[in-house]
Structure formats: structure tokens, C-alpha cells
DNA sequence: TATGGATTTCAGAATTTTCTGAAACTTCAG
DNA sequence: CTGAAGTTTCAGAAAATTCTGAAATCCATA
């Protein structure tokens, strides 16, 4: 590996964390390298920088493309593919959230749905199914919220984030103003 | 493996997803089994139900305890440990969020902080460092928001989730009513 | 402090994942 | 059509992780 010190720390860290994030070491390192590089890099430059095999780079770039985490660039009169990451960290965040949902949540949701459609054939099964229903309801709630929030433009999203828990003050204020009915605060359940 | 069909589907699915979630197959299966079981189970019952070795169960329960995902129970006049999961899915969600943050985010945040304190010794390094600063700022923002939101009681949290993107209507309304000063809408920065 | 039921540890076996080098493929220029 | 530059594929090597059985440990009781 042949990198300046700060870059190297960053790249090595992404490599180590890779497994916790559901990608592997090489994929993590390549992503980190592209992220901190000003100009797009081609496969051989990555081989050079990280000291890994050409084929590993090829596979890993393919994986990063499957995650939609890299962009393809071309130079005039050069057949090689060059890769970068998007500039906007908010965009990266959105992609990451989307892909992780797709891989880590959606399959479970669909398994749960399938199980919930079946008839349990013992009291134990019935109990278990009820627990699964609770889990399903919670995940549905979260993904619905996520689907909503991801539509927001970055400005509003940042605003919301900045507000933090302060949002409840706003909710309280709203309840006071709107007053009647629409929703009981603090009831915890009920809706949908 | 010796389980009724719906339970088995659920357990097997958690086993398969385990690797994507940063735990291993056995840990996933044991968690799933405890989750759908009405009564707490002891290690030997888990061995029986899942058909895996006693030592594997012991290791995996230890892992689940490290994740704070299981509760220990005791029966009178029985020395064995019995395990369950918390009843409240919201509580489970909180634990999961906390633990994943601890394992997946915090280490990166601290590496980034360390790198940002150093002096880059080339223009490339300087560029990279600026990118890392952007990443750091975003993660800080998200974790600050998370630290805020996790303080909310479940009722309010559920309320907020139910509101979804509708929250921005509320924000707009507030801006219209409060009108003057307190905060510039859409600026994206500022607070704390 | 000896006994025995229960749990934990740990070295190595089994399995899975990652990585490599060689070969195959693709595309374009001459 | 041929060959050069580039890329991908894939079988097996290397590495990492997971799982097991046997031995060690723990601990309440007598």
C-alpha cells in the first residue's frame, strides 16, 4: 500500500469497518480511496495505491456499482473506466440508506408478511405469530416514515435534523393551537 | 432442527440474515427463537430446538448478552439460566440502534476526529482531509439528532413517526405563525 | 472440602468468504 | 481479419469465521 499517511489511516479504517458494514475489506478500502481522491481513478491506479490484485479490484468495483456508491467517468481518447464517488455527502447518505433498506429490511418484511398469512396450528404458533405481527407493524411504521422523509429536499431534511427532539415542543404547540381531537398526544399506540 | 413450521421459517430467516446484520447465523437463530417463545428458554432447550452444539449455544448467548438483546430469568430452585427477549418491540429497537451506533458509527467518528486534528502535508492530503471533514460533519449531525430523539418516550416517538414528512407542513405553519427571527427556514445550518 | 449438576473455554475441524493468477472475452484501430 | 489494450470471469489458494467436543471451571449443597 502506497498512500500518504492521513489517506492511509482513512483507507485502512474503512477496510476494517467493512465487515461490520456488510461489505468486505477491499470494497471498503476502494470506496474510501475514491472518496478522498480529487480526480477519478482507474482500476490500475487502485491496484497501485492499495497493493491488491487486479481481479480483486475489478470484482470490488462491480460490487460498489451494485451498491450505487460510485460514478463512472471517461476521459477523451481513453477507453479506461474511471471511478469517483458523488460529491454530495447527503446524496451518499440517501444511497446508503436505500441500499441497506433493500438488503437488510425488505427481505425480512416479505418473510414476515408471508408467515402472517398462514394459519398457526398450535397455541405456541399463535403466540409466535402475534410476536411476529408486532415486529412487522413496527418495521412497517419505520419504513413508511423513511419513505416519507426521503422525499424531502436536503434543506428541509437538514432543518429537521437540526431541530432534533425540539420537534416535540412544536408538536405540543400545534396540539395547543389546533386543540380539538385530531390525535391524542402520548397515547403510544393507535393509528393506521 | 425441531420446530413448528411458522417458527422454523422465522428462525431460518433470521439465521440467513444474520450475516447481513453483523451477527452470525446461530446468534440470529437463537434470537429469533427466544423472540417467538412465550416462556424463557434454557440453553439445553435451545440446543434441542435448533440442533446445534451446546458450546455454540453458550458462545452465542454470550454474544447476545453483549448486545443487550436478551434478558436473564430464573426459576425458583433451579440454577439454570433462562433467556428471553424484552416484550416491547420499541425497547428492542432502541437497544438495536444504540448497539449498532456503538459498533458501526462511533469508531469511525473517532478515527475521523483524529485525522482531522493532523496537519496534511500535501495538497492531495488537504483535499482528502476536507472530504473527511464533510463526512465528519454529517455523521455528527446525525448522531446529535439521534441522541436527541432517543430521549423521547415511546408515545411521542410513535407520534413523530406517524407524522412522517407531514412534519414539514408543521414546520411551515410554525414559520408562518412565529414569523420573526428565531430561526431562518431553509438555511440548513445553525443550532447548538 | 468433596460432589455433582451446570456452564464456559478453547484447540482444532469444518465451513464460508475473500483474494489471486491465468485464461477468456471485448472492443477498437490498423 | 489481426492484434493490442483493457476488462471480466472463474477455479482454486489463502484467510477468516464459525462450530464442535473434550476438558476445565464454577458453585451450591452436603
The verdict on residue B128 lying in a domain is yes
Positive or negative, the CA dihedral B82, B85, B86, B88 is negative
The verdict on residue A180 lying in a domain is yes
The verdict on residue B58 lying in a domain is yes
The verdict on residue B129 lying in a domain is yes
- Residue A180 pLDDT exceeds 80: no
Residues B98 and B171 in one domain: yes
Give the tens place of pLDDT for each residue, A10-49: 999 999 999 889 899 999 999 999 999 999 999 999 999 9
Closest Cβ–Cβ partner in B5, B17, B138 for A107: B17
Q: Which region among A103-112, B86-95, B105-114, B153-162 has the lowest average model confidence (pLDDT)?
A: B153-162
Closest Cα of chain A to B39: distance in Å?
10
pLDDT on residue B179? 57
Give the tens place of pLDDT for each residue, A151-160: 999 999 998 8
The distance (Å) linking the CA of A74 with the C1' of D6 is: 14
The distance (Å) linking the CA of A110 with the C1' of C16 is: 26
Maximal C-alpha separation, chain B: 70
- Residue B190 pLDDT exceeds 50: no
- How far, in Å, CA of B177 to CA of B42, rounded? 58
Q: Cβ neighbours of residue B17 under 8 Å, at least 6 residues apart?
A: A104, A107, A108, B28
The verdict on residue B35 lying in a domain is yes
Q: List the one residue out of A39, A49, A44, A41 whose CA is nearest residue A12.
A: A49
Residues B148 and B96 in one domain: yes
Is the Cβ atom of A55 within 7 Å of strand D at any atom?
yes
pLDDT, mean of residues B20-49: 95
pLDDT on residue A179? 56
Is the Cβ atom of B55 within 7 Å of strand C at any atom?
yes
Residue A14, judged by CB atoms within 10 A of its CB (0-12, 13-18, 19+), counts as buried
The verdict on residue A156 lying in a domain is no
Residue written as grid cell 495538497: B123
The verdict on residue A80 lying in a domain is yes
Residues A24 and A76 in one domain: yes
Q: Which three cell numbers stand for residue B54?
A: 451446546
**Domain range for A42:** 5-84
Residues B77 and B96 in one domain: no
Give the tens place of pLDDT for each residue, A83-101: 999 999 999 999 999 999 9
- How far, in Å, CA of A123 to CA of A127, rounded? 6
Closest Cα of chain B to A159: distance in Å?
5
The verdict on residue B184 lying in a domain is no
Percent of chain A's residues with pLDDT above 70: 92
Greater model confidence, B129 or A76: B129
Select from A58, A84, A110 the last residue of a domain: A84
- Residue B121 pLDDT exceeds 70: yes
Residues A115 and A146 in one domain: yes
- How far, in Å, CA of B70 to CA of B181, rounded? 48
- How far, in Å, CA of A41 to CA of B76, rounded? 66
Residues B170 and B117 in one domain: yes
Number of domains in chain A: 3
Element (H, E) at B173: helix B167-178
Q: List the one residue out of B44, B66, B65 whose CA is nearest residue B55.
A: B44
pLDDT on residue A187? 42
Give the tens place of pLDDT for each residue, B144-179: 999 999 999 999 999 889 887 787 777 777 777 765
Nearest residue to nucleotide D6, by CA–C1' distance, is A80
Mutant choice from B159, B160, B170, B186 vs A, greatest count of A C-beta within 10 A: B159
Is the Cβ atom of A9 within 7 Å of strand D at any atom?
no
Amino acid at each position: 500500500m502506497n498512500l500518504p499517511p492521513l489517506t492511509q489511516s482513512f483507507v485502512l479504517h474503512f477496510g476494517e469497518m467493512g465487515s461490520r458494514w456488510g461489505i468486505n475489506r477491499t470494497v471498503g478500502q476502494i470506496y474510501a480511496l475514491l472518496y478522498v481522491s480529487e480526480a477519478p481513478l482507474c482500476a490500475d491506479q487502485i491496484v497501485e495505491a492499495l497493493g491488491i490484485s487486479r481481479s480483486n479490484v475489478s470484482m470490488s468495483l462491480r460490487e460498489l456499482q451494485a451498491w450505487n456508491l460510485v460514478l463512472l467517468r471517461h476521459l477523451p481518447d481513453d477507453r479506461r473506466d474511471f471511478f469517483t464517488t458523488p460529491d454530495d455527502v447527503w446524496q451518499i447518505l440517501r444511497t446508503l440508506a436505500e441500499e441497506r433498506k433493500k438488503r437488510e429490511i425488505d427481505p425480512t418484511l416479505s418473510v414476515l408478511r408471508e408467515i402472517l398469512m398462514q394459519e398457526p396450528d398450535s397455541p405456541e404458533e399463535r403466540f409466535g405469530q402475534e410476536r411476529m405481527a408486532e415486529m412487522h407493524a413496527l418495521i412497517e411504521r419505520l419504513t413508511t416514515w423513511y419513505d416519507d422523509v426521503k422525499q424531502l429536499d436536503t434543506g428541509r431534511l437538514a432543518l429537521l435534523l437540526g431541530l432534533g427532539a425540539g420537534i416535540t415542543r412544536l408538536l405540543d404547540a400545534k396540539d395547543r393551537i389546533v386543540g380539538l381531537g385530531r390525535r391524542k398526544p402520548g397515547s403510544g399506540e393507535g393509528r393506521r
